[in-house]
Amino acid sequence: MEITLGLAALKLVGYGLATFGPGLGIGIACYGCCMATARQPELQGRLFTNFIIGAALAEALGLIGFVLAFIV
Amino acid sequence: MEITLGLAALKLVGYGLATFGPGLGIGIACYGCCMATARQPELQGRLFTNFIIGAALAEALGLIGFVLAFIV
Amino acid sequence: MEITLGLAALKLVGYGLATFGPGLGIGIACYGCCMATARQPELQGRLFTNFIIGAALAEALGLIGFVLAFIV
Amino acid sequence: MEITLGLAALKLVGYGLATFGPGLGIGIACYGCCMATARQPELQGRLFTNFIIGAALAEALGLIGFVLAFIV
Amino acid sequence: MEITLGLAALKLVGYGLATFGPGLGIGIACYGCCMATARQPELQGRLFTNFIIGAALAEALGLIGFVLAFIV
């Protein structure tokens, strides 16, 4: 007798949870970047840099979850 | 005797969780883009660029979840 | 002897989760579009374009979940 | 010997989750439409159009969950 | 008789939960940095330093979850 639970699909559940924070965070960062650019147009380059750094840091957490699905 | 639990449907649960953050984040980014455009109409091109970049980064996290459903 | 757990209904749970973010995100995007249009009526075309793009990106994540229910 | 667990009720759980986001999103969109109309009464037609489109996009996600309950 | 539960995938679920706060926190930090820079442009260097420190502290929590997946 052998009982096998194929729980590989749980990986996708894990990835799904992993995208929650980053996806929401990128949206909030983008929102702040747009609003700040509208208030101080001459700073658009600097604000965009800030936004990209923040979005990249958050995106990295999501992409690591994608990589982790193959390692674990 | 063999017991098999077909939990492939869990993949869809995982994908569902994966769309939460991005879907909400895109909405917030769009909200910020619209409000900022209304405040500084002459910056609409720049603001739209910011919005598209942020939305694309968030959307990518959701679409990766779709791809992952077939790989895992 | 064979034990089968029909968990196909989990697909609908997954789809339900998949509509959470996009549904909420579309609402927030629509909210921003309306408020921005009220502030700068002459930009209504541009703002509507932004809103539709954001809503379409979010809606796509939800509809992919519908398609996924038949594939997985 | 065959053991069948009727978990059809999970469908209703799934549909319930599916109404969460859209229901909330439509409310937010309606809120924005009302506030914007109050600020710029002469734009009421345009704002109502924006609201209906956004609400329809979100409503569609919820109704698909209703249809899915019979298909899955 | 042998019961095998392949619960390694639970690691990814844990990692997914671990990114929730950091991803969201980085986005909020980025939002605050952009808005503050727009209000006081001459403080952009200092504000950026604050943002990077805050984002790095949050990011670390997510990355520790990644490392933990291999240790546990």
Give D3's strand partners. C3
pLDDT for residue A7:
66
Q: Kindly state the average pLDDT of the residues A32-51.
A: 90
Q: Kindly state the average pLDDT of the residues A45-52.
A: 90
In a mutagenesis test of the C interface, which of B7, B15, B30 is the best target, namely the one with the most C β-carbons within 10 Å? Answer: B30
Q: Strands E2-5, A2-5: parallel, antiparallel or unpaired by DSSP? A: parallel
Cβ atoms of residues C53 and C32 within 8 Å: no
Q: Rounded distance, CA D62 to CA B20, Å? A: 15
pTM of structure = 0.85
- Residues of chain A with Cβ-Cβ distance to B50 below 8 Å are 30, 33-34, 37, 48, 51
Under the phi-then-psi rule, with left for phi > 0, alpha for psi from -120 to 50, and beta for the rest, what region is A3?
beta
pLDDT tens digits for C22-33? 999 999 999 999
| H and E: helices and strands count for chain E | 2, 1
Q: Rounded distance, CA C15 to CA A22, Å? A: 21
A23 inside 8 A of chain E by CB = yes
Q: How far is A69 from chain B (nearest CA, A)?
A: 8
| pLDDT tier, B1 (very low <50, low <70, confident <90, very high otherwise) | very low
Where are chain E's structural domains?
Answer: 29-72
Q: How far is E71 from chain A (nearest CA, A)?
A: 11
| pLDDT tier, A51 (very low <50, low <70, confident <90, very high otherwise) | very high
C23 inside 8 A of chain B by CB = yes
Query: How many interface pairs between A and C have CB atoms less than 8 angstroms apart?
Result: 3
- Stretch (H or E) spanning A45: helix A44-71
Q: Rounded distance, CA B67 to CA E59, Å? A: 25
B23 inside 8 A of chain E by CB = no
Nearest CA among D48, C28, C44 for reference residue B55: C28
Is C20–B16 a contact, with Cβ atoms under 8 angstroms apart? yes
C60 inside 8 A of chain D by CB = no
Q: How far is D62 from chain C (nearest CA, A)?
A: 7
Please report the residues numbered 25 through 44 in chain C whose beta carbons come closer than 8 angstroms to any beta carbon of chain D. Answer: 25-35, 37-39, 41, 44
- Stretch (H or E) spanning E33: helix E9-39
pLDDT tens digits for B49-60? 999 999 999 999
Q: Rounded distance, CA E58 to CA E19, Å? A: 9
Cβ of D8: how many Cβ atoms within 10 Å? 13
The yes-or-no verdict on residue A69 having pLDDT over 80 is yes
Of E8, E16, E69, the CB nearest to A17: E16
A40 phi, psi to nearest 5 deg: -130, 80
The yes-or-no verdict on residue C8 having pLDDT over 80 is no
Structure tokens given for E67:
């490392």
Return the HEC string of D37-57.
Answer: HHHCHHHHHHHHHHHHHHHHH
The yes-or-no verdict on residue B15 having pLDDT over 70 is yes
D27 contacts: CB under 8 Å, gap ≥ 6? C27
Q: Strands A2-5, C2-4: parallel, antiparallel or unpaired by DSSP? A: unpaired
The yes-or-no verdict on residue B7 having pLDDT over 80 is no
Average pLDDT over all residues of chain C: 85
**Residues of chain E where predicted confidence (pLDDT) is lower than 50:** 1
pLDDT tens digits for D37-63? 988 888 888 899 999 999 999 999 989
| pLDDT tier, B72 (very low <50, low <70, confident <90, very high otherwise) | confident
